[in-house]
Amino acid sequence: MSSTTQPIARGSHFNRILVIAGHAFTQLVRMKVFYFLAVFAVIAIASNFFDLPQHEGPESIGMNVLRSIKSWSLGTMTLFSVVLSIVATALLLPKDVEDRTLYTILAKPVPRIDYLAGKLLGVLILVFVSLAMMDVLMTVVLQIRSSMILTQQVAMAQSQGWPQDAIESLRAETAQHGPNWALQGAVFAVFLRASIMASLALLISTFSTSTLFTTIISFLIYFIGHFQADARDAYLQAGQAGEGVFARMAALVFSLVLPDFQNFNVIDAVIEGQAMPLMVLVKLSLIGLYYAVFFTIASWFVFAEKEF
């Protein structure tokens, strides 16, 4: 039938995962998800004009504007990346089952783990590309605005006869609020948090019966993740309840299974102009990797036994 009679070599796991990831990415792109970038552009530009409560001197006004741009931009990135990672992941699996396209894929020599990993990777590529584009936009806006502010502030300081070291100090402080590596680290942290949520949504969608259920439960866990560390500490310090070995083990298991998103509060520190040490970024990367792998393997255990 075919022009060639050579047997077809089965591709590697990696190749199949890439094929499925590439397809999932294309599928989501063709759902026109990148339209939200226009919304982000509007927010990034509008954040230049938001008035924040002002208690400091006139030299701080510029820094507050830069802080506002970072705050609004990173906040919007968080919102978009978390919503995108949860909704896109929650949508892909049930849609394939409903349309029976899953049958045609699993009827090929495709192990189920390849299918799951491919879908997850496709969503992560989409989130990464989206964040990268938003990051570029934010950096450009921040760069233009910080050089404008720097020029204005230096002129103001010189007209008021500030000493040179004070001017240099003001210049350094303003630069801290401009685009820098800490800010890129914060954007990467936003990506890591979205990756955890995508892999969690993948796990839920393997046993969930609907996209809505997966989405609601994922958001619920996302919110729990923001105060689970406080709840755990309060429990362990609440008299006898937290003294037993069982209670401590339960708290440990709880933290291993449910992500603690307070680790990502460093993003807020970057908005305030603080640096992000490399070790913090490494720690966040390891946390992200741990949860992504843990949830994906758990998804595989459920999905491997699933019948269609």
Partner 1 sequence: MAEPTPAVEIKGLVKDFKTSFRRQMLRAVDDVSIRIMPGEVYGLIGPNGSGKSTTMKALLGLVAPTSGNCAIFGKDSLKVDSRNDVGFLPENPYFYKHLSGAETLRFYGKLCGLKGKRLDDRVSELLALVDLENARDRRLGGYSKGMLQRIGLAQAMIQEPRLVILDEPTAGVDPVGSRQIRDLILKLRERGITVFLCSHLLEQVQEVCDHVGIIFRGKMVKEGRLDDLIAIEDQTEIIIKDASPELISQITALVGNSATASLVRTGKPRTTLERLFLRETTQGKDS
Q: What is the nearest approach in angstroms of partner 1 to the Cβ of residue 24?
A: 10
- Rounded-to-integer distance, Cα 168 and Cα 32, Å: 47
- Rounded-to-integer distance, Cα 125 and Cα 231, Å: 33
Helix (H, G, I), strand (E, B) or coil at 54: coil
Distances (CA, A) of 74 to 80, 94, 168, 257: 10, 31, 28, 26
Q: What is the nearest approach in angstroms of partner 1 to the Cβ of residue 46?
A: 33
- Rounded-to-integer distance, Cα 248 and Cα 64, Å: 43
Q: Which is nearer to partner 1, 104 or 160 (CB)?
A: 104
Q: Which amino acid is at 88?
A: A
Residues at the contact surface with partner 1, assessed by CB under 8 A: 1-4, 8-11, 15-16, 19-20, 23, 26-27, 30-31, 99-101, 103-111, 305, 307-308
Distances (CA, A) of 55 to 66, 145, 153, 175: 16, 21, 17, 21
**Residue 301 is encoded by which pair of tokens?**
């255990």
Nearest Cα residue to 183 out of 62, 84, 285, 268? 268
Q: Which is nearer to partner 1, 102 or 170 (CB)?
A: 102
Q: Which is nearer to partner 1, 248 or 306 (CB)?
A: 306
Q: Which is nearer to partner 1, 11 or 242 (CB)?
A: 11
Q: Which is nearer to partner 1, 69 or 121 (CB)?
A: 121
**Residue 260 is encoded by which pair of tokens?**
């603690």
Are 121 and 293 within 8 A, CB to CB?
A: no
Q: What is the nearest approach in angstroms of partner 1 to the Cβ of residue 64?
A: 45
- Rounded-to-integer distance, Cα 205 and Cα 215, Å: 9
Q: What is the nearest approach in angstroms of partner 1 to the Cβ of residue 89?
A: 17
Q: Which is nearer to partner 1, 47 or 211 (CB)?
A: 211
Q: Which is nearer to partner 1, 55 or 108 (CB)?
A: 108
Q: What is the nearest approach in angstroms of partner 1 to the Cβ of residue 25?
A: 11
Rg (CA), the chain: 24
- Rounded-to-integer distance, Cα 192 and Cα 184, Å: 12
Q: Which amino acid is at 228?
A: Q
Q: What is the nearest approach in angstroms of partner 1 to the Cβ of residue 15?
A: 7
| SS (HEC) of 261-305 | HHHHHHHHHHHCCCCCCHHHHHHHHHHHHHHHHHHHHHHHHHHHC
Q: Which is nearer to partner 1, 28 or 170 (CB)?
A: 28
Q: What is the nearest approach in angstroms of partner 1 to the Cβ of residue 132?
A: 23
